[in-house]
Structure 1
Amino acid sequence: MRRRALLIAGAAWTLPNSLIGLLLGVLGLAGGARPQWRQRELALVFDRYPWGPGGAITFGNIILNTGSSLDTMCSTYAQRAGLRTEKAICLGDHERAHVYQYMVLGPFFLPVYLLSGGISVRNPFERAADRYAATGAGWWPF
């Protein structure tokens, strides 16, 4: 009961971010995006999102995924940067960590994320999402 209340409060707190993602997701429908609710990620996922460099991006409880499914394996940020060799991680697990991060920081997530290094291996939010995807623990960066 308490977990459910926290999830509802987190979803409400990050609603401004989710609305950004929902708007982008609805625009993506014209290009073939396919929405589906994924309970495990606590997010509405737009698979086959037609724009972007590849991979996925999260806005609150919305995930825009250029692939056909979040159940795909991918490299960690450290692996892509050539800093170390690691096992591949599940993209859905990585993005779920971002959903949790958004639910904690709410409307402050995007500014804090961008000030922390944006989409890069330097960003502690990305490193924490990779850690969570690899181990199932440690989605909070600090």
Structure 2
Amino acid sequence: MRSITQVCLFGLGALWTLPNTLIGLLVGLFGLAFGARMSWREAELAVVFRCWPWGAGGALTLGNVIVHTGDDLDVRCLTYAHRAGLCTEASVSLADHERAHVYQYMVLGPLFLPLYLLCGGISVRNRFERAADRYAQSRHGWWPWP
């Protein structure tokens, strides 16, 4: 059960990132016509579109929306550093990784996408991805600037 403070902060964060969420909803709703399935995930504070019919695999978070090519977010995946061959790490929960991005969006709102792209986009060098992996490993440290 969430406290009243948590509910208020969630509401403010959801409002602040609403432009990103609307983009995510448009992307997700388009996929419904091609087999995607939509559900609310309380733990991730997000609408999830699973079974997304296009892409190489994985997930994309846009505000409080997660678009996922698989059937379930509750799967294990490799960290960015592990995939890049920089180290050997245990796999992490994809749901936890994407939840970190939802938190990042809720704090940064419309600033998230420009900052994410300035930090390197989808790559191991991106501090947002490293922070999401750190959170997925420990459930702490989702903020990209330590």
TM range, smaller chain: over 0.9
**Could you tell me how far 1:51 is from its partner in structure 2?**
1.2
State the percentage of identical aligned residues. 65
> Number of paired residues?
142
User: Which whole-Å deviations, capped at 9, do the CAs of 1:84-135 have from their partners, x for residues lacking one?
Assistant: 0000000000000000000000001000000000000000000000000000
Q: Secondary structure at the match of 1:57?
A: strand
Point out where structure 1 has 5 or more consecutive residues left out of the alignment. Answer: none
RMSD value, Cα = 0.4
User: Which of the residues 93, 100, 104 maps onto 1:101?
Assistant: 104
DSSP 3-state at the match of 1:9 = helix
State the match for 1:70 in structure 2: 73
Matches within 5 A, 1:60-139: 60-139=63-142
With the length of structure 2 as denominator, give the TM-score of the two structures.
0.96
Runs of 4+ in 1 over 2 A off after TM superposition: none
Structure 2 unmatched ranges of 5 or more: none
Distance 1:16 1:141 in 2: 21
TM-score, reference length from structure 1:
0.99
Distance 1:140 1:74 in 2: 20
Once the 2 structures are TM-superposed, how far is the Cα of residue 31 of structure 1 from its aligned partner? 1.2
**Equivalent residue for 2:55?**
52
* 2:12 is the alignment partner of 1:9: yes
Deviations 1:27-81 (A, max 9, x none): 0001100000000000000010111121000000000000000000000000000
